[in-house]
Amino acid sequence: MIPLILRRVAISLPLLVAVSFVTFLLLSLTPGNAAYTILGARATPGQLAHLKSALGLNRPLLVQYGTWLGHAVRGNLGRSLVSGQPVSQALAQQVAPTLSLVVLALLVGSTAGIALGIWSALHSGRIAQFLNSASFVGMAVPGFVVALLLIQIFVVSLHVLPASGYVSIGQSPTLWFRSLVLPVIALSIGAIGIIAKQTRTAMQEVLSQEFIVVLRANGYSQRSIVLRHALRAASIQVLSIIGVVFVGLLSGAVIIESIFSIPGLGSLAVQASAQADIPLVLGVTVSFTVLVVATNLLLDVVFMVANPKIAHP
């Protein structure tokens, strides 16, 4: 299994290079480049040209990218054009809230989604139909609408949870948890809907297969058939949707962080984008991609464990 995982790592590295290169390209091709951002609208052409050559912006694009990549692999992502702070430092400061948010949302989304999906694959009454419709609506309603609804109920009307801010887990686990309840719910509603739907479809398909009939007819317990045999066979399809859902969660986190004033990577991205702080924008984009790559790797491992056809060809 280890060689298989190493191969997956090798395959995912080009993704990092591709994303950083495309972002780099986008950021360099446009008029508002770094020199302009630093000097502002009133700079003279002479000043601009001088700073451009000082920053190395006159060199060919590929050379510039190569330099950036060479520094990046050693952990040097440059300095923010606005604050002068090293980008890697800014990222390190703000990664924890985002990780807490998306990891919790993924866990809540997967657990609730899979449970809901299994249940509705096995039942067909009014409750099951209601749950199917509910998860459909959950899938469609934008996260920020859910977030604002939650704020209206739990913060403005009931005063039971904080409206915004983030407390690190080291500072106070209770406050950390309280600060994340609403953001995590708002972010995971959509994920629950998608995962529940995929789980239901996959379970229904597996449960109509011949081996289920053989297991039932030979007296295996209902519990074991559903949770051991069918779920493991269905998990192969469910895992692939979880990867897609995670990418969506990262986009969602940008907005949810902004609503709940959580100082995470999403807020950093919004701020960097508004200030045209190019090294910071690039750094945030790369760290989001690293998160995607890491999650996909983790899912690949789970996938291999669930699907013996890969590890035991």
Partner 1 sequence: MTTNFTSDESIDAGGAVGAAHGDGSSTADAKEGSSPVAPRRGVWHALRSRPVSVVALFWLCGVVGACLIAPLIAPFGQNQQNLAATFEGPSASHLLGTDGLGRDILSRLLFGGRITFSGVLLATVIAVVLGSSIGIVSGYFRGVLDGTLSSISDILMSIPVLVILLSIAAVTSQNITILMLAVGVLLSAPVYRVFRAATLEVREELFVTAARTSGLTDLAILRRHILPRLGSVLVVQTAVIASLALVTQVGLGYLNIDVRAPAASWGGMVSAASQTIYTSAWPLVPPAIVITLTVLAFSLIGDVAQQARTGRTAGRQTGRRAFRPSSERSTAFAARPSDGLTTDRTPSVVPTDSTALALRDVSVAVPTNAGGWLTLVDGISFEIGEGEIVGLVGESGAGKSVTARAILGVLPRHAAVSGSVGYHGTELLRGGEKAYRAVRGKKIAFVGQDPMTSLSPTWRIGTVVAENVRRQQGVGKKEAKRITRDLLAKVRLPNPEIVERLYPHQISGGMAQRVVIAIALAGNPDLIIADEPTTALDVTVQMEVLGLLKSLQQERSLAMLLVTHDWGVVADVCDRAVVMYAGQVVEDASVEQIFTEPKHPYSAALRSADPHSQQVGQRLQVIPGRVPPPGSLPSGCRFSSRCVHCIPACQSAPVELLPNAEGGRVRCIRASEIGILVP
CB closer to partner 1 out of 87 and 259 = 259
Q: Which two tokens stand for residue 61?
A: 């694009």
Q: How far is it, in rounded angstroms, from Cα 211 to Cα 215?
A: 6
Q: Give residue 184's Cα distance to chain centre.
A: 12
**Minimum Å distance from CB 173 to partner 1?**
28
To the nearest whole angstrom, how small is the minimum distance from the Cβ of residue 98 to partner 1?
A: 11
Query: What is the C-alpha to C-alpha distance for residues 36 and 82, in angstroms, rounded to an integer?
Result: 12
> Whose Cβ is closer to partner 1: residue 32's or residue 56's?
32
In angstroms, the Cα distances linking 216 to 32, 113, 225 are: 66, 26, 8
Pick between residue 27 and residue 48 the one whose CB is nearest to partner 1: 27
Query: Residue 247 CB, nearest distance to partner 1 (Å)?
Result: 6
What angle in degrees, to the nearest 10, is found between the helix axes of 126-140 and 87-122? 160
Quote the least distance from Cβ 262 to partner 1, whole Å. 14
> Looking at beta carbons only, is 169 or 297 nearer to partner 1?
297
Q: What is the smallest separation between the CB atom of 34 and partner 1, expressed in angstroms?
A: 10
Measured from the CB atom, the residue of 169 and 212 that comes closer to partner 1 is 212
Token digits of residue 69:
């990549």
Cα 245-303-225 angle, rounded to 5 deg: 100
